[in-house]
Amino acid sequence: MSQTCEKPVLAQLENVAGRKLAVAFSGGLDSRVLLDLLANARTEFPEICVLHVNFGLRGEESDLDETFVRDVCAELDLNLHVYGVDKTERESRTGESVQEWARRVRYDFFAKFAEENFIIALAHHEDDVAENVVMRLARGCSAGNLAGMRVYSNPYYRPLLLTPKASILNYAGALGLTHREDSSNASILYSRNFIRQEVLPRLESIFPDARRRIAATGLDAQDVSEYTRSQLLNKLNARGSSQILIPDLLLLTPGVALETLSAFLQQQDHKPVHLSRRLLTGILSDLRARDQKTFLRRYLKNGFQVFAKGDFLQVSPKTVSKSFKPKIKTLRHTPNQAVTHDGPLISRDLL
């Protein structure tokens, strides 16, 4: 390694050492560096494997991603679990953007390993946090959700979250790590790509190091919010974590009420869900306008429903849901082994 290249630090490694680890690997630069770092630290974990999802959205390009992922895992002697999305599943998508659908499918796949007590390692980094903050400021959300992610939030582990993209690029260059490039990342038709390629560089031209400060502000707001939320939820939880008292929630100032409601909804399940400011203020407005006999219900994208009954706001899984049965192929590598799986792949470090 070049003497001018500093090795990225795996943040909060002590929180996951001794746990089984599954590394999400798209084949892209960020996850390639993460996989290299964690493979070098494999003695910290009793078991380490790799997870890869192929949505079959980019034809031959996805197949080439698959070959690359397979070769890297063979080189590092790591077991690979592949979920291939078939044409029927792709065409059954309704009511979601491609990005929302892909994110849901991927996290459903990860959840199966979380159920087996694996920690899921993701390659998000500091620049991703800055993009989240800018996008969520524009769309609207509670202050505590600006960053949108933490280094460690069981079962998800993001060891590079405090590392800038430039450090990841330098490390990969110094070691000569190859990776796959997703051609769709070049399109500014996607809002995140536009922020990454147009908005943040312009801010940096006016305020040097803006990305780092924007990310730090989002993470600081998250820490303050987390403490505030925990204190308030302890007071508002009436009968356990699945319900809170509506009258007490509505006595809070608007900003604090948003934070508390967001924390209450997010503590119910491991599946991440983005709670927009519009959704949260809509729920609070409905609660203020209702009389006690009115039954209100809203559905969340992580498979849960929130409803008001009497003095209580409650959360529970949707009553009707289709069980998720992923088509997973486990690849244990031996020399010259031919590898197949149930479908094609995708290489996308989506948030």
Q: What are the pLDDT tens digits along the chain (351 aa)?
A: 444 567 899 999 998 999 999 999 999 999 999 999 999 999 999 999 999 999 877 778 888 898 899 999 999 999 999 998 888 888 888 778 888 888 889 999 999 999 999 999 999 999 999 999 999 999 888 888 899 899 998 899 999 999 999 999 999 999 999 999 887 777 787 888 999 999 999 999 999 999 999 999 999 999 988 888 777 777 777 556 678 888 988 998 888 888 888 888 877 654 556 677 888 888 999 898 877 666 678 877 666 788 888 888 888 877 644 444 545 555 554 433 433 333 332 222 333
CA distance 275 to 301: 9
pLDDT of residue 2: 45
Buried b or exposed e, range 191-226, using 16+ CB within 10 angstroms? ebeebbeebbeebeeeeeebbbebbbbbbebbeebe
Is this structure's pTM higher than 0.85? Answer: no
Whole-number pLDDT of residue 351: 33
Residues 6+ apart with CB under 8 A from 139: 276, 277
